[in-house]
Amino acid sequence: MNEDDSKKTGGSFERDTDYIPDRITHEGRRPEHGPADVPLWPVEAGRYRLVAARACPWASRAIIVRQLLGLEDVISLGLCGPTHDLRSWTFDLDPGGVDPVLGIERLQQAYFARFPAYPKGITVPAVVDVPTGQVVTNDFPWITHDLFFEWREFHREDAPDLWPAELREEMEAVMKRVYTEVNNGVYRCGFASSQDAYDAAYDRLWTAMDWLEERLADRRYLMGETVTEADVRLFTTLVRFDPVYHGHFKCNRQKLTELPNLWRYARDLFALPGFGDTVDFDQIKTHYYSVHRGINPTGIVPQGPDLSVWTEPAGRHS
């Protein structure tokens, strides 16, 4: 994602959530859930490219879900570098700084190919239609939702049930609280521009963190004994908490490593294929400390913390 287009009201950070609403659905069907009358694209193996960045928590959701479901050979993955300027995320990790499939240097080019005067921020994750080079959607909650519900025919046989039917209503409520209070809550702390706004954001964040610590006292994952989309959404914030949010965003009541249940839970997820092996701590730190010059004017990237602790056994299965 790119926080540059978000706004502040009375010193409080408000995320701009006006994304390209298109959906990719099985045979271009009208989905049962979500906004009506959005443009629809058909599921088609090999047609789309997921453009993401390992630095971005919102994009990391899509990277994780794509791998968990076994869609690597069905939807290709383009990775941007950890930093961006006001114009766009760039493909500086690729030879010559050009995405080898799309043939572009900036993700902005895919947005402009469809919307020549696109007025908003160029965000990841984005799904791009390879034949036309045009962006399809950057609506990150629906991207992962539809990877599960609409691409089922391409899932690997042992893919996890990320949206269990019997848990879906409760899971939606949990994910809503995780998003508003934790995923976005750390940003409200970091980008607050008044003391009152920061204090309110900090209190909201830690109320939610305490709720999660208690919830995980007697269950392995957020919804019980199996991994769901709710865990994916929480993990991308937790894995960035000590390296970035604790200090850089002033979320510093405690470190994640000082919260026993959340810390064991996060390491448990980190050890699973699709989670820890998609994380790049160097890119994460480089992104936040280099791009957010309003918070870190020098652009200095700290050496700590010690990240080897993530590979220590969690023992959550017991």
Nearest by Cα to 288 from 243, 221, 238, 253: 243
Q: Could you give the CA distance from residue 231 to residue 221 in angstroms, rounded to a whole number?
A: 7
Which among 19, 48, 56, 202 is annotated as catalytic? 56
Q: What b/e readout covers 144-169, taking b as 16+ CB neighbours within 10 angstroms?
A: bbbbbbbbeebbeeeebebbeeebee
Q: Could you give the CA distance from residue 160 to residue 103 in angstroms, rounded to a whole number?
A: 34
End-to-end C-alpha distance for the chain, whole angstroms: 37
Sign of the alpha-carbon dihedral angle for 210, 230, 107, 111: negative
Q: Is 289 a catalytic residue?
A: no
Which among 48, 111, 187, 245 is annotated as catalytic? 187
Structure tokens at 206: 């830690």
Q: Could you give the CA distance from residue 228 to residue 113 in angstroms, rounded to a whole number?
A: 35
Cα Rg, the chain, nearest whole Å: 19
Q: Is 56 a catalytic residue?
A: yes
Q: What is the largest CA-CA distance in the chain?
A: 55
Q: Which of 198-205's residues contact partners 24+ apart within 8 Å by CB, and which partners?
A: 198/11, 198/250, 200/12, 201/12, 201/13, 202/250, 202/251, 202/253, 205/181, 205/251
In the DSSP assignment, the letter for residue 4 is G
163 labelled binding-site residue: no
Query: Residues marked as binding?
Result: 89
Query: Residues marked as binding for glutathione?
Result: 89
**Residues annotated as catalytic (active site), given as ranges:** 56, 187
